[in-house]
């Protein structure tokens, strides 16, 4: 099939944002996406799903591209992010290890269970035809599922696409300008107090994204606002989700609130964030050296210098914050100067007792945030400044 013609058909129905991880079966479609569309090269397939999900919230019809071995990496966000939030992504997943076709031994089992996995995850799918006219009909069916807030994946067999040469890519290099390590004395506030400080700095252009667990639940108790999103499941995906949203909504200020356990799970996302360098995103990590939401077990963050890591990944500013007052100062500076910023604040392990959970379902939180973004006066209300 002519890859360029398929790409043009995707564009006709609005799919212009792509994120993925390379596969030899999909290389021509990936090359087309890089050449002709907005493409974000993710560190792994789960991150690609989160990036594309954030872009969808921001108004982009999004596509994810992956090898079927990487489908296993994407299981968490496909089941605990796109499913509960009803985020309808279009996917292309290769069929390495197709029964009866010789392939590398690591693909043997996945070749047998790829479509079963999609069925188990309640993802509608079809084998992608090699005939463009038939593909046009398949795209109509896929787009109907997308319109119903359902994901749809095409399973791609070997030899489906003809060659699409990759045009010369311009390498994006971003150097850290401010790297600030700290003193030994830290205020060690509670997470609740840190979230109160962050929330007090928001305005009508701010979107706050809270990682899964007690971070989102405490932010909900502080103020359940139209511009908040409380991540559920998909641990480690909040930074990638923020990147997709920041790229699709450059006029908004995206505040990503992360935890040490969450960030450690998908730390490769820091490199992706630094490369694509969205100036309208600030990444705040509240580090209590623990998986506090699930019983207080220690993480390995005691041994890690997150400031150096974020700086080496290309964050313009990478700063260890010592107090709530400093946190507010750096947040205000970021809003004024808008440079990709990473802040790390050491916090205590204390948390609020008997935390509430959001009364809205995740997809209702998503829809409310979409109304806030698009400022529909009939459906959404704007959050006032403070």
Q: Checking DSSP bridges between strand 15-20 and strand 253-259, what pairing results, if any?
A: unpaired
| Averaged pLDDT for residues 70-80 | 97
Q: Are 371 and 225 in contact (CB under 8 A)?
A: no
Q: What is the DSSP letter of 32?
A: H
pLDDT of residue 377: 45
pLDDT of residue 379: 42
Tokens of 98: 């197709």
Q: Rounded to the nearest 5 degrees, what angle is found at the Cα of 277, between the Cα atoms of 285 and 8?
A: 125
Comparing 4-8, 140-144, 376-380, the range with the smallest average pLDDT is: 376-380
Closest CA to 7 of 139, 123, 146: 139
The SS3 assignment for 283 reads: strand
Q: Which positions ≥6 away from 44 have C-beta within 8 Å?
A: 21, 70, 73, 266, 268
Give me the chain's average pLDDT, please: 93
| Averaged pLDDT for residues 1-14 | 97
**Confidence band, pLDDT 50/70/90 cuts, at residue 295:** confident
Phi, psi for 130 (deg, rounded to 5): -95, -5
Give me the torsion for CA of 91, 62, 211, 284, rounded to 10°: 130
Closest CA to 155 of 110, 94, 103: 94
Q: Checking DSSP bridges between strand 228-230 and strand 297-298, what pairing results, if any?
A: unpaired
Comparing 118-127, 351-360, 376-385, the range with the smallest average pLDDT is: 376-385
- 169-222 residue pLDDT tens: 878 888 899 898 877 788 899 999 999 999 999 999 999 999 999 999 999 999
């Amino acid at each position: 099939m002519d890859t360029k013609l398929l790409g043009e058909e995707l564009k006709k129905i609005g799919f212009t944002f792509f994120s993925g991880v390379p596969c030899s079966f999909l290389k021509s479609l990936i090359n087309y996406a890089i050449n002709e569309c907005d493409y974000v090269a993710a560190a792994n397939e789960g991150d690609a799903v989160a990036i594309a999900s954030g872009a969808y919230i921001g108004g982009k019809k999004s596509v994810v591209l992956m090898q079927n071995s990487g489908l296993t990496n994407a299981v968490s966000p496909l089941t605990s992010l796109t499913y509960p939030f009803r985020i309808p992504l279009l996917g292309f997943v290769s069929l390495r290890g197709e029964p009866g076709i010789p392939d590398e031994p690591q693909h043997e089992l996945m070749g047998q269970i790829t479509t079963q996995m999609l069925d188990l995850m309640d993802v509608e799918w079809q084998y992608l035809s090699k005939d463009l006219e038939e593909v046009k009909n398949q795209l109509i069916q896929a787009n109907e599922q997308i319109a119903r807030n359902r994901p749809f994946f095409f399973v791609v067999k070997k030899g489906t696409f003809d060659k699409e040469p990759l045009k010369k890519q311009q390498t994006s290099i971003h150097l850290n300008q401010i790297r600030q390590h700290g003193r030994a004395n830290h205020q060690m506030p509670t997470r609740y107090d840190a979230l109160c400080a962050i929330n007090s700095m928001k305005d009508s252009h701010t979107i706050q994204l809270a990682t899964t667990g007690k971070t989102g639940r405490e932010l909900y108790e502080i103020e359940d606002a139209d511009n908040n999103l409380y991540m559920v499941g998909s641990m480690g995906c909040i930074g990638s989700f923020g990147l997709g949203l920041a790229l699709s909504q450059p006029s908004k200020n995206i505040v990503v609130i992360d935890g040490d356990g969450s960030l450690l799970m998908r730390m490769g996302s820091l490199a992706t964030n630094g490369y694509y360098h969205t100036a309208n995103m600030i990444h705040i990590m509240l580090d209590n050296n623990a998986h506090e939401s699930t019983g207080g077990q220690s993480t390995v963050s005691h041994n890690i210098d997150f400031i150096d890591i974020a700086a080496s990944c290309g964050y313009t500013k990478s700063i260890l914050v010592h107090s709530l007052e400093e946190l507010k100062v750096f947040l205000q500076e970021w809003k004024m100067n808008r440079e990709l910023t990473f802040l790390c604040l050491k916090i205590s392990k204390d948390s609020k007792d008997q935390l509430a959970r959001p009364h809205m379902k995740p997809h209702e939180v998503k829809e409310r945030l979409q109304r806030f973004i698009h400022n529909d006066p009939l459906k959404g209300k704007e959050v006032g400044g403070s």
